[in-house]
Structure 1
Amino acid sequence: MDKPIVAANEPIAVDLKQGKTYLYCSCGRSSAQPFCDGAHKGTAFSPQPFKAEDEGEAWLCRCKQTGHPPYCDGSHAQVPDDQVGQPFSLTNPA
Structure 2
Amino acid sequence: MKRARHLKLRYGITIEQYEQMLASQRGGCAICGSFPGGKRLAVDHCHVTGRVRALLCPQCNRSIGYYEFIRERAESYMRRYGKGNPLLQYDSGAQQ
TM-score relative to the length of structure 2: 0.25
Higher relative contact order, structure no. (Cα contacts within 8 Å, ≥ 6 residues apart): 1
Higher strand share: 1
Higher helix share: 2
- Which structure has the larger Rg? 2
TM-score relative to the length of structure 1: 0.25
